[in-house]
Amino acid sequence: MISRRGFLRLVGGSFFSMVSLGAYAVGIEPMLLTHVTRYSLTPPNWPAGLRLRIVALADIHACRPWMTPERIASLVRDANALQPDLIVLLGDYTASMRLVTDGVPASEWAQALSGLKAPLGVLSILGNHDWWSDPEAQKAGAGPVVARRALEHVGIPVLENDVVRLEKDGHGFWIAGLADQLAFLPSQDHDGFKGLDDLDGTLAKASDGAPVILLAHEPDIFPKVPRRVSLTLCGHTHGGQVRLFGYSPVVPSRFGNRFAYGHVVEENRNLIVSGGLGFSILPVRFGMRPEILSIELGPA
């Protein structure tokens, strides 16, 4: 039988462990040096002579003290140092979290992102928080949202149900950007969230047989993505922000852990979901460090 003194030591030790764990999850892991997560794959029907390096940043959620313009500028330097052919931004630049000391105006985070450089350029899409944080767009039921205007002001194109054809080493390929699937909050006009995404219409704009890389903020679109798409890149989930032994207790997806994080292959189709850089709801990360993706496509 455990003694009274032993019981008190156990309780005290457990309490200290819980406090320490909470302090780490809130104050340390979210601010750790950003991890570079690397993937290397050759999708089906990928051109043999096309070797492409894509660097992806997702879910910045600019705010103070967690994601300041200075920290974003540091992430930009880290991304450029990876020497990508192309940089893509996967949405959610704004923060809707209440536990912040101050917001970061769109002009400031966009200016920090303007330092991104790659030979084939920088392309972006929007996320749900970029729409939700714009009351005028919510009221009007249409954009452009503040985030889009800020990105375009610093020269970063925003793809909303649109495509861009790029070329490297004599091989063409398409980048398709999907409009957000949760753009409008529930209102008197409609129940539930309302999206602006048009997958079929977007892919129809890729007018030849060159490979397609799809940018979509939320990964829930993936079951509908046809095999023509070589790779789908998403953010939104933050890897659940808390992830233990490959499992995230809470994932903002109707598919739960199926598309929570990482490289998913289904029916010979490829999806990569970023764990993101910032956070929403709570400033907590545990087992899911902020990350930048570096993706090598094509044979080594």
Position 18 pLDDT exceeds 80? no
Give residues with Cβ within 8 angstroms of 198, minimum separation 6.
161, 178, 179
Question: 68-121 pLDDT, tens per residue?
Answer: 999 999 999 999 999 999 999 999 999 988 888 999 999 999 999 999 999 999
Question: 187 and 127 in one domain?
Answer: yes
Question: 90 and 10 in one domain?
Answer: no
The mean pLDDT value of the chain amounts to 90
Q: How far apart are CA 194 and CA 132, in angstroms?
A: 11
**What CATH number did the domain enclosing 244 receive?**
3.60.21
Q: What angle do CA 164, 195, 215 make, to 5 degrees?
A: 30
Question: 168 and 274 in one domain?
Answer: yes
Question: 108 and 122 in one domain?
Answer: yes
Domain count, the chain: 2
Per the rule left: phi > 0, alpha: psi between -120 and 50, beta: everything else, 31 is: alpha
Domain range enclosing 63: 34-297
Question: 247 and 225 in one domain?
Answer: yes
Q: How far apart are CA 8 and CA 234, in angstroms?
A: 48
Which pLDDT does position 189 carry in this prediction? 78
92 secondary structure, DSSP code: -
Question: 198 and 114 in one domain?
Answer: yes
Question: 39 and 9 in one domain?
Answer: no
The tokens for 27 are: 């104050």
Q: How far apart are CA 51 and CA 299, in angstroms?
A: 7
Question: 240-269 pLDDT, tens per residue?
Answer: 999 999 999 999 999 999 999 999 999 999
Instruction: Give the residue among 136, 82, 80, 79 at the shortest CA–CA distance from 106.
Output: 136
Question: 59 and 11 in one domain?
Answer: no
Question: 87 and 9 in one domain?
Answer: no
Question: 1 and 43 in one domain?
Answer: no
pTM strictly above 0.85: yes
Question: 54-67 pLDDT, tens per residue?
Answer: 999 999 999 999 99
Which pLDDT does position 33 carry in this prediction? 67
Task: Give the residue-averaged pLDDT of 199-204.
Answer: 98
Q: How far apart are CA 128 and CA 196, in angstroms?
A: 10
Question: 113 and 13 in one domain?
Answer: no
CB burial string 99-112: b at 16+ within 10 A, e below: ebeebbebebbbbb
Q: Categorize the per-residue pLDDT at 32 as very low, low, confident or very high, splitting at 50, 70 and 90.
A: low
Q: Could you give the percent of the chain with pLDDT greater than 70?
A: 89
Question: 122-159 pLDDT, tens per residue?
Answer: 999 999 999 999 999 999 999 999 999 999 999 999 99
Position 230 pLDDT exceeds 50? yes
Question: 74 and 21 in one domain?
Answer: no
Sign of CA dihedral 96, 98, 104, 105: positive
